[in-house]
Amino acid sequence: MRTGQTKRTGSRATAAVLAAALALALAGCGSGGAKSQTASATSSTGPAGTASGAPAAPQDPTQVLATIKGPDGIVLTINSAKRETGGFVTVTGTVKNTGSQPFSQAGSWRGDEEELQKNGGSLAGATLVDTLGKKRYYVLRDTEGRCLCSTGLDIIQPGATMPVFAQFPAPPATTTQVDFDLPTLPTASIVISQ
C-alpha cells in the first residue's frame, strides 16, 4: 500500500512541477512571443533590432560567459545562464553581425526537428549538454511547437546587435557547468548561476 501511495504522490508532484513550469513559460511568452520579425537594426551605434520574446530581465552586458564566433562575422555572446523558479534555465546574450554582408543563415539555428521548422530564424535548435550527467537539454516549447527563445533572426544586418535568449529544462542542482550548442557555431562551455 505504501508503494502505491508513494507512486501517486510522486506522480502528483511531478505533474505539479511540470504544470508550474509550463505556466511560467507561457506567461513569459507574452502576446508578441510567437510573431516573427525581420531583424534589421540600424547600426551598432543606433537602436538595436529586437528579437520577439526577449526576456524582461535586464542583461548584464559586462559579464561574458562565452563568446562564440561563427561564419560570416556572426558573434554570439552569452552573458548569463540562470536557474529560474519553476525548473528551467534562461540563457541570455547578444548576437552581433561583425561582417560586411547581411547574415541570413540563422534559419539553420532552429534545428532539424520538423516541429521546429515553423520557428524561422531563431535559437530553437540550441541545446545545453551536461557532459558529466550525459544528458542533452533542448529548448523548451509551447503546446503549438513555438520555442521559448528568440525568434525573428531571419536577417541580421551588418553592425546590428540584438538581444537573444533561450529557455531550457534545468539540469540537476549539482550541475553547474554545461556546454551550449547551436547549429553552425562552435560549442562553448558556460556556468549556470543560481
| Higher per-residue pLDDT: 23 or 145 | 145
Residue with cell 547578444: 94
| Higher per-residue pLDDT: 17 or 148 | 148
Longest dimension (CA), the chain: 69
Residues pairing with 77 in the sheet: 67, 94
Domain boundaries, given as residue ranges, for the chain? 2-191
For 15-66, write each residue's pLDDT tens digit: 444 444 444 444 444 433 333 333 333 333 233 333 444 444 445 567 999 9
Q: Are 37 and 51 in contact (CB under 8 A)?
A: yes
CB under 8 Å, gap of 24 or more: what pairs does 139-143 form? 139/166, 139/167, 139/168, 140/21, 140/25, 140/88, 140/167, 140/168, 140/169, 141/115, 141/116, 142/25, 142/26, 142/29
Coil, helix or strand for 149? strand
For 75-133, write each residue's pLDDT tens digit: 999 999 999 999 999 999 999 999 999 999 888 888 777 776 677 789 999 999 999 99
